[in-house]
Structure 1
Amino acid sequence: MKRIVALFSAVVLCMGLAVPAMAAGGYGPYSVKDSAGKDWSFTSAKVEERTITLDWFGETMEEKASVIVVEPGSSITYSEGYGTYMEYIKNGDRYAPVEATVGEISETVTTNELFRDNIGMISFSTGTNFTEVYVVLGDGSSQPQPDNGFSDVAANAWYAEPVKWAVEKGITSGTSANTFSPDMTCTTAQILTFLWRANGSPAPTINNPFTNMANDAYYASAAVWAYEKGLVSGSSFEGDTPCTRSATVTYLWKLAEKPVVAAADFTDVAADAEYAQAVAWAVQQGITAGTSAKTFSPDMTCTRGQIVTFLYRDMA
């Protein structure tokens, strides 16, 4: 089988890899479609020029390539169903494919799960020509030490400044004395609490409208405030539901008094979708961008790092 290492520029142009603005050499979110048309979304990755030496079943090959490097401790999400990939054992500076083994990914996995034991690299095919994309684990020890008090937020992480801002403003805090958990999924209760705090933590002016929410829940005041603001409705509050990209931009758009803007050109955002205007507005304001040139991924869930970044871009 002919294997081709994908140059990053080709990936960007042909497969729609989402490229965020970031500091040189820094990590950031990426998304790329595989040959089945499904998204591989990396919460924290970067691209480096490397020479890869492959021990391809007795044949040694060297390839100069732009390789996707994922940050240790981050996660990778597969958009739908099961995706397959090849695994490679690292032996010194060489990578040998694991014979007769095909890995599977479904939903979200961490780098610890993906690069278990002595697996040093994976690859999956993209496009109609089944071009191989190589993914390796970054060196966590090379990360600059954090200056924000959190051991899991590197100084050059793409969300480092938003995390620092959110903590300083009292919008959120760490999940422990020295961790922020930027890759943890953000729930509806959490994002509404962040927004409530960012808007001054106002006291509710109405009684609790939710039959399933205790008045002493940590998010109770935030949920009632969100109800008053029209961010949520109904008699049941689903606070544990993961917050999606479309829900996040809709909350921010409503708080901005629902400005009308030109529609965004995303194939997965219908013109009559309830969040269509919110998506277009958020992109116009630079709060977020698509996960590729043509997709927004409205149902993709958001992490704590992503949510504070959205808020930072909107409010800071």
Structure 2
Amino acid sequence: MQDPNDWRYDGVYGVAAAGLITGYDNGLFGVDDSLSTAQLITILWRYAEPEASSNTDPSAVLNKTYLIDVEDFQYYTAAVNWAFENGVVHGMQTPQGYILDPNSPVSTERAMTILANYLTKDEPAMSAQEVDGFLLKCTDGSSVSEWARPSMAWALKTRMISGYDTASGREIRPWENIARGRFAVILNNGMETGALPPNNPGIIPD
């Protein structure tokens, strides 16, 4: 990220300065790399619980959830335990059991749902009319999954996301696998608007 004209530039350096995402050991941020569910949850955990996360040894952490694809002793295991206990994630039901799919890319609508689960737990729910009002401002707002509609509307309302300007109007692309650079912009938007409250986040070597 050396080009200050890149639309992700301020977001990347903003979250790096805040210690939310520091990039890889090779000195790259990976702006175009897809963000995984495990990475997203780890970022939130380190933000919410900086002391606990900085003192946790991943090699000693067992999966305490009923999510069958969450492995013991992984960098994300403690984060998932925290997220599950606090209602940030619930998993997806399959014939074999509930899964998290931790290492797969996370879509925009799922990422916003996870963020909203954490950030809006003490806030009143948006009305159906309010949700419709925000989503209908986007040309692809009707394609948002039913379960993600309140969270995507909240993200628009708080200006965490603004979407892409296109010839046909503004798009939020709910099914797009969210890239690390775009997620950095979203987090930075949250810090600037106050949707992401000030905290003392730990450094995240992800």
What is the TM-score of this pair, normalised by structure 2? 0.68
Aligned equivalent of 1:208: 64
Contact kept, 8 Å, 1:153 with 1:180, in 2: the verdict is: no
Q: Is the helix fraction higher in 1 or 2?
A: 2
Residue of structure 1 equivalent to 2:161: 288
In 2, Cα distance between equivalents of 1:181 and 1:241: 16
Extract structure 1 runs of 4+ deviating beyond 6 A. none
Is residue 179 of structure 1 aligned with residue 28 of structure 2? Answer: yes
2:99 corresponds to which of 236, 242, 245: 236
Q: Give the number of aligned pairs.
A: 164
Question: 2:35 touches 2:180 (CA, 8 Å); kept in 1?
Answer: yes
Structure-2 change in CA distance of 1:294 and 1:177 (3 Å): closer
CA distance in 1, matches of 2:14, 2:170: 31
> Following the alignment from structure 2 to structure 1, what is the Cα–Cα distance between the partners of residues 146 and 9?
33
Amino acid at match of 2:180: R
Give 1:250's aligned residue: 113
What is the rounded CA distance, in whole Å, between the counterparts of 1:276 and 1:217 in structure 2?
31
2:203 is aligned to: none
The CA RMSD measured in Å over matched residues stands at 2.6
Pair 237,289 (structure 1): closer, same or farther in 2 beyond 3 Å: same
For structure 1, list consecutive stretches of 5 or more residues without a partner in the other structure.
1-151
Aligned AA (1:260): M
Q: Show the counterpart of 1:306.
A: 182
**Distance in 1 of aligned mates of 2:80 and 2:46:** 12
What is aligned with 1:125?
none
**Partners of 2:26 and 2:17 in 1: how far apart?**
15
Give the Cα separation in 1 of the matches to 2:10 and 2:39. Answer: 19
What are the residue-to-residue correspondences of 1:99-114 with 2, within 5 Å?
none
TM-score by length of 1: 0.46
CA positional deviation for 1:281: 1.4
Q: Distance in 2 between matches of 1:195 and 1:238?
A: 17
> Does residue 315 of the first structure (1) align with residue 164 of the second (2)?
no
Residue aligned with 2:147, SS: coil
1:267, CA displacement in angstroms?
Answer: 5.2
Of 168-177 and 188-197, more deviation after overlay is shown by: 168-177
Which has the larger strand fraction? Answer: 1
Match for 1:260 among 100, 115, 126?
Answer: 126
CA distance in 2, matches of 1:250, 1:300: 14
- Equivalent runs, 1:76-225 vs 2, <5 Å: 152-201=1-50, 202=52, 208-209=64-65, 210-225=67-82
Indicate if the aligned counterparts of 1:170 and 1:197 stay in contact, CA closer than 8 A. Answer: no
Query: What is the CA–CA distance in structure 1 between the aligned matches of 2:105 and 2:80, rounded to whole Å?
Result: 15
Please report how far the alpha carbon of residue 172 of structure 1 lies from its aligned counterpart in structure 2 after TM superposition: 1.9
User: Which segment drifts farther, 211-220 or 275-284?
Assistant: 211-220
Correspondence for 2:94: none
Indicate if the aligned counterparts of 1:169 and 1:198 stay in contact, CA closer than 8 A. Answer: no
The structural deviation recorded for 1:185 is 0.8
Identical aligned residues as a percent: 23
Work out the CA distance in 1 between the residues paired with 2:140 and 2:12.
30
Q: Distance in 1 between matches of 2:71 and 2:114?
A: 23
Q: Distance in 2 between matches of 1:231 and 1:251?
A: 6
SS in 2 for 1:281: helix
Kindly state the Cα deviation for residue 239 of structure 1 after the two structures are TM-superposed: 0.7
Once the two structures are TM-superposed, the CA of residue 282 in structure 1 deviates from its matched residue by 1.0
Cα distance in 2 between the residues matched to 1:311 and 1:295: 19
AA in 2 matched with 1:312: N
Distance 2:17 2:3 in 1: 17
Corresponding residue for residue 73 of structure 1: none
Larger Rg: 1
Q: Per-residue displacement from partner, 1:249-287 (whole Å, max 9, x unpaired)?
A: 212222222641512214544488111111111111111
Q: Given the superposition, is the C-alpha separation of residues 171 and 268 from structure 1 closer, same or farther in structure 2, using an over 3 Å criterion?
A: same
Give the drift of 1:240: 1.4
CA distance in 2, matches of 1:294, 1:160: 21
Letter of the 1:254 counterpart: N
Matching residue of 1:226: 83
